[in-house]
């Protein structure tokens, strides 16, 4: 007969709890004509691995009534093992990624060969420790009962094998795999199945080993990630400390402040998205980072507080300078006022810098006062230049006349002519400002040439100097005569060394004598 879907009121076979969920179409096939073989017909599951299920010769015929249609309900057996998890239950726990691999059937003999059915319909499984009761299938044949519990073993083994394959072929995390393994172990401990339980335990041991290996690999990855994250944090902290350690007079406050903010954002980014550091390492790095930031902020506040004070002093000083400049702007004492403005500019540079806005406003006022004075002065100078152009022509002619005195041949005549030219030069008056320096330099050059000629004549006619020159000549002539006598004696003695020394001294004295006589000739000539 074909097996009907177990019902609660028709002697449902149990394997632990009485409320075991019936496998649905998506998870476990429902026993029935489509997927449950009739007695005497080869089991399609066993045909896949080349074995034949054990079938009894007294299997009920298809015309026999099914257990669910019996007029007298069979008694419910006492449940023994727990529920068998479905593949959907395992996937719900482990949250795996889709895999292309399919679970394998248990190796070795058919699962039914590890069980038996007692005369009262109780199903037992053989283990290394002996037989253990797993449940009963009231109203079914012994072969159908064994097949039912064997199929549940196959499903449970397939679930364990699927978890094992996912550990080997996907990036399933150790935590998810451990959760799936714990769930499988829980079902195995409570499951009422017939099959090679030792092989199932061996498969679970393989999974446990794989989970341990995955845990160790993930621990190593986490350690490497923590080391890399600690190195990145160390770079952030080290740069912050370098910025904070700069000498105050070399800090670019705007750029350094912006960089400090960027480093803080980088720290937050690493904290949110990077590997988590251990509490001690993160605390130590954060303490150093915080100290560097606090040190920089304190120095910045002190700097700008001092800057604000110095800017206030500079502002007060420049306000006083602006007031003086504005008072001088209407002065007509052109020479002294121009000098006063030059001194005000020197004091402005020494006053330091106020804030940019104050500095710019005060400078505009200072420059406006200065420009007003010099514009008025330039207007007056322009008028004077027009009046002085005739004087320029007169002085140009006087300058040409003075140029003809050079070179000086007759000193007395040159001096007399130059005095007359100088008198007319002064009487000619001022020349335009642009020509003033050129004309004055040219006249001073001629005057200096006449003075030099006068100095030379005085040197030649000075009695004291002439006497000293005569005395020098007399001394050198006496020395030369003495050295000539020494040379004669050396030559007479035949001593070559004395001859060379005497001749060298004589030649030197004769050169000095010639020079002294030339100087004496200048005074006598």
Name the least confident of 7-16, 114-123, 186-195, 401-410.
7-16
Dihedral of the alpha carbons of 81, 82, 86, 89, in degrees to the nearest 10: -160
- Does pLDDT of 41 surpass 90? no
Question: Above pLDDT 90, what percent of the chain?
Answer: 18
Q: Regarding predicted confidence, which is higher, 19 or 362? A: 362
Tokens 């207007």 — which residue? 379
pLDDT tens track for 106-164:
777 888 888 988 888 889 988 888 888 888 888 888 888 889 998 998 989 999 899 99
CA angle 157, 40, 196 (to 5 degrees): 20
What are 3's two structure tokens? 């097996």
What DSSP element (H or E) covers 127? strand 122-127
Q: How far is CA 373 from the centre of its chain?
A: 55
Helical packing angle, 356-403 and 279-328, nearest 10° = 50
The gap between the terminal CA atoms of the chain, to the nearest Å, is 166
pLDDT tens track for 463-521:
676 677 778 878 888 888 888 888 888 888 888 888 888 888 888 888 888 888 777 67
- The rounded distance, in Å, linking the Cα atoms of 443 and 214 is 105
Find out whether 90 and 162 touch, Cβ atoms under 8 Å. yes
Phi, psi of 136 (to 5 degrees): -150, 160
**Which whole number is the average pLDDT over 96-109?**
60
Question: Above pLDDT 70, what percent of the chain?
Answer: 78
The total of other beta-carbon atoms located within 10 Å of residue 111's CB is: 30
At residue 524, the pLDDT reads: 58
Q: How many CA atoms lie within 13 A of 81 on its CB side?
A: 26
- The rounded distance, in Å, linking the Cα atoms of 2 and 61 is 9
**Entry pTM:** 0.41
Find out whether 389 and 428 touch, Cβ atoms under 8 Å. no
- Does pLDDT of 258 surpass 90? yes
Q: How far is CA 365 from the centre of its chain?
A: 45
CA angle 232, 236, 240 (to 5 degrees): 165
At residue 84, the pLDDT reads: 41
Q: Regarding predicted confidence, which is higher, 501 or 80? A: 501
What are 212's two structure tokens? 């341990």
Q: Regarding predicted confidence, which is higher, 81 or 447? A: 447
- Does pLDDT of 455 surpass 80? yes
At residue 480, the pLDDT reads: 84
**Which whole number is the average pLDDT over 22-50?**
36
Find out whether 299 and 250 touch, Cβ atoms under 8 Å. no
At residue 397, the pLDDT reads: 92
Q: With bands split at pLDDT 50, 70 and 90, how would you rate the model's confidence at 45?
A: very low
Residue 180: closest CA among 152, 203, 151: 203
Q: Regarding predicted confidence, which is higher, 499 or 232? A: 232
At residue 55, the pLDDT reads: 36
Name the least confident of 206-220, 245-259, 463-477.
463-477
Tokens 């944090």 — which residue? 233
Phi, psi of 384 (to 5 degrees): -65, -35
- DSSP assignment letter at 85: P
At residue 231, the pLDDT reads: 92
- The rounded distance, in Å, linking the Cα atoms of 319 and 328 is 14
Q: Regarding predicted confidence, which is higher, 27 or 448? A: 448
**Which whole number is the average pLDDT over 307-326?**
86
CA angle 443, 444, 445 (to 5 degrees): 90
At residue 20, the pLDDT reads: 39
Rounded to a whole number, what is the largest CA-CA distance in the chain? 178
**Which whole number is the average pLDDT over 168-176?**
88
Name the least confident of 55-69, 108-122, 304-318.
55-69
- The rounded distance, in Å, linking the Cα atoms of 226 and 220 is 10
- Mean pLDDT rounded to a whole number for the chain: 77
At residue 88, the pLDDT reads: 43
* CA distance to 36, 211, 243, 353, 458, per residue, from 52 (Å): 14, 36, 81, 104, 151
The total of other beta-carbon atoms located within 10 Å of residue 3's CB is: 26
Tokens 């200072």 — which residue? 366
Q: Could you check whether the bond before residue 271 is cis, i.e. omega within 30 degrees of 0?
A: no
Q: With bands split at pLDDT 50, 70 and 90, how would you rate the model's confidence at 76?
A: very low
At residue 523, the pLDDT reads: 61
**Which whole number is the average pLDDT over 176-183?**
90
At residue 379, the pLDDT reads: 83
At residue 354, the pLDDT reads: 81
- Cβ neighbourhood burial of 467 (10 Å; 0-12, 13-18, 19+): exposed
**Which whole number is the average pLDDT over 18-38?**
36
**DSSP for 196-239?**
-HHHHHHHHHHHHHHHHHHHHHHHHHHHHHHHHHHHHHHHHHHH
What are 498's two structure tokens? 């004395």
At residue 285, the pLDDT reads: 93
**Which whole number is the average pLDDT over 5-14?**
39
3-state secondary structure of 136: strand
Q: How many CA atoms lie within 13 A of 394 on its CB side?
A: 17
- Cβ neighbourhood burial of 208 (10 Å; 0-12, 13-18, 19+): middle
Q: With bands split at pLDDT 50, 70 and 90, how would you rate the model's confidence at 14?
A: very low
């Amino acid at each position: 007969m074909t097996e009907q879907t177990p019902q609660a009121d028709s002697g449902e076979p149990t394997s632990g709890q009485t409320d075991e969920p019936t496998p649905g179409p998506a998870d476990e096939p429902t026993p029935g004509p489509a997927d449950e073989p009739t007695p005497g017909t080869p089991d399609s599951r066993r045909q896949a691995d080349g074995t034949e299920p054990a079938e009894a010769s007294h299997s009920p015929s298809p015309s026999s009534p099914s257990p669910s249609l019996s007029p007298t309900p069979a008694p419910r057996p006492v449940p023994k093992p727990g529920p068998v998890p479905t593949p959907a239950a395992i996937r719900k726990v482990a949250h795996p990624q889709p895999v292309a691999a399919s679970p394998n059937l248990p190796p070795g003999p058919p699962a039914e060969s590890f069980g038996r059915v007692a005369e009262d319909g109780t199903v037992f499984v053989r283990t290394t420790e002996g037989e253990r009761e797993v449940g009963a299938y009231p109203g079914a044949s012994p072969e159908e009962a064994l097949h039912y519990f064997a199929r549940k073993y196959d499903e449970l083994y397939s679930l364990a094998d699927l978890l094992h394959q996912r550990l080997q072929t996907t990036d399933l995390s150790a935590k998810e795999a451990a959760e799936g393994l714990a769930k499988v172990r829980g079902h195995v401990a409570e499951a009422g199945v017939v099959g090679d339980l030792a092989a199932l335990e061996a498969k679970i041991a393989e999974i446990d080993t794989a989970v341990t290996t995955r845990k160790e690999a993930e621990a190593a990855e986490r350690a490497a990630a923590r080391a890399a994250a600690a190195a990145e944090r160390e770079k952030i902290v080290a740069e912050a400390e370098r910025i904070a350690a700069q000498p105050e007079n070399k800090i670019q406050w705007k750029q350094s402040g912006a960089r400090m903010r960027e480093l803080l954002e980088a720290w937050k980014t690493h904290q949110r998205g990077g590997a988590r550091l251990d509490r001690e390492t993160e605390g130590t790095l954060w303490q150093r980072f915080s100290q560097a930031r606090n040190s920089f902020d304190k120095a910045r506040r002190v700097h700008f507080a001092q800057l604000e004070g110095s800017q206030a002093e500079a502002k007060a000083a420049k306000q006083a300078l602006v007031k003086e400049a504005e008072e001088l702007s209407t002065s007509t004492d052109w020479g002294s006022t121009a000098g006063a403005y030059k001194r005000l500019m020197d004091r402005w540079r020494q006053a330091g810098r106020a804030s940019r806005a104050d500095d710019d406003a005060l400078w505009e006022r200072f420059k406006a006062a200065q420009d007003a004075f010099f514009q008025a002065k330039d207007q007056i100078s322009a008028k004077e230049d027009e009046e002085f152009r005739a004087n320029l022509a007169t002085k140009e002619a006087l300058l040409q006349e003075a140029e003809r005195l050079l070179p000086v041949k007759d000193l007395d005549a040159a001096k007399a002519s130059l005095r007359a030219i100088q008198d007319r030069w002064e009487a000619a008056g001022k020349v335009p400002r642009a020509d003033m320096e050129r004309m004055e330099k040219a006249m001073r050059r001629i005057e200096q040439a006449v003075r030099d000629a006068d100095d030379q004549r005085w040197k030649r006619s000075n009695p004291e100097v002439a006497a000293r020159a005569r005395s020098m000549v007399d001394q050198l002539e006496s020395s030369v005569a003495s050295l000539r006598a020494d040379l004669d004696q050396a030559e007479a003695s035949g001593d070559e060394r004395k001859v060379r020394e005497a001749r060298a001294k004589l030649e030197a004295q004769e050169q000095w004598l010639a020079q002294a006589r030339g100087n004496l000739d200048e005074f006598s000539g």
